[in-house]
Amino acid sequence: ETGVTQTPRHLVMGMTNKKSLKCEQHLGHNAMYWYKQSAKKPLELMFVYSLEERVENNSVPSRFSPECPNSSHLFLHLHTLQPEDSALYLCASSQERTAGNTIYFGEGSWLTVV
Amino acid sequence: AQSVTQLGSHVSVSEGALVLLRCNYSSSVPPYLFWYVQYPNQGLQLLLKYTSAATLVKGINGFEAEFKKSETSFHLTKPSAHMSDAAEYFCAVSDRAGTASKLTFGTGTRLQVTL
């Protein structure tokens, strides 16, 4: 059981589609993250939101657009993706300014771009 | 800048044998260090973390890791492997600065447990 839930778990989309990934955390945290996990590559940090403000954007292409309407919800809007964007997208959350700042992950959304 | 190196992308042990997964880090500041496990088709689950309170850290499922500053290492061990330990294990380092934690992950080690 996880305190971070992601929907959908699986998504297949065409290169011209627009879709969104949703994440909700039930842990009372104030920071949320999107990571990308591709085969044979380290997990890549995409975006970080702290207190609902984006504090990190790691040179992610504009076809990925994050949205954080409140501290419990995080979206990743997807638009005109490429096949190489197929990956597992992991949402995570943490409580800032606490020792250790453990990051808790959801189970991920598997994205296939066709 | 910080980085993590995990030696060995695949490790195979027999059930009941010692598990040793290696992790070396590089960090310009005293680090926080983490081990996460990922079972098939699941997200990452925290096994244990080092936050400078004690160099030997005990985690869930019988795993532990020892922080060795002189060797810049944080190897993960378990005395006796179980079939259910088969998974991918990720070592990660976090900086202590900034407004939000940012984990830098290693490339992962896939643990296989055989009968």
B99–A55: do the CB atoms touch at under 8 Å? yes
Percent of chain A with pLDDT over 90: 68
Pairwise CA distance, residues B22 & B24, whole Å:
7
Encode pLDDT of B65-101 as tens digits.
999 999 999 999 999 999 999 999 999 998 765 556 6
Cβ contact B102–A102 (<8 Å): no
One-character DSSP codes across B26-93: E-SSPPEEEEEEE-TT--EEEEEEE-SS-SEEE-GGG-EEEEEGGGTEEEEEESS--GGG-EEEEEEE
- Name the one residue in this structure whose structure tokens are 């909700």: A24
Chain A positions in Cβ-Cβ contact with residue B106 (cut-off 8 Å): 42
Is there a contact between B46 and A102 if contact means CB atoms under 8 Å apart? Answer: yes
The sign of the CA dihedral A86, A88, A93, A99 is negative
Q: What is the pLDDT of residue A46?
A: 93
More confident residue, B94 or B25: B25
pLDDT at B41 over 90: no
Mean pLDDT of chain B: 91
DSSP string spanning A21-78? Answer: EEEEE-S--SEEEEEEE-TTS--EEEEEEETTEEEEE-S--TTEEEEEEETTEEEEEE
A-B contacts at Cβ under 8 angstroms: 64
Q: Among A41, A67, A72, A92, which residue's Cα sits nearest to residue B102? A: A92
Asked if residue B104 has pLDDT above 90, the reply is no
Nearest-Cα distance to chain A for B18, in Å, is 26
* C-alpha–C-alpha distance, residues B27 and B111, integer Å: 26
Q: What angle do CA B81, B12, B85 make, to 5 degrees?
A: 35
Locate A20 and state its tokens: 């969104």
Selecting from B90, B98, B101 the residue whose C-beta is nearest the C-beta of A94 gives B101
- For position B99, what pLDDT does the model report? 52
What is the pLDDT confidence band of residue A4, given thresholds at 50, 70 and 90? Answer: very high
Cα–Cα separations (whole angstroms), residue A63 to A59, A76, A80, B112: 11, 10, 6, 37
Mean pLDDT computed over B48-71: 92
User: Distance (Å) from the C-alpha of residue A14 to the closest C-alpha of chain B?
Assistant: 23
pLDDT at B113: 97
pLDDT at A97: 63
Using a CB-CB cut-off of 8 Å, the residues of chain B touching A94 are 100-101
Residue A103 has pLDDT above 70, yes or no: yes
Would you state the pLDDT for residue B15? 97
Cβ separation of B101 and A31 shorter than 8 Å? Answer: yes
Tokens coding B24: 């070396």
Name which of B46, B94, B105 is nearest A43 (Cβ-Cβ).
B105
Contacts of B44 in chain A (CB under 8 A): 43, 90, 92, 105
Section A61-73 average pLDDT: 93
pLDDT attached to residue B25: 94
Residues of A in contact with B41 (CB under 8 A): 107
Which DSSP helix (H) or strand (E) runs through B20?
Answer: strand B19-26
pLDDT of residue B72: 94
Q: Which of A74-78, A94-98, B16-20, B49-53 has the lowest mean pLDDT?
A: A94-98
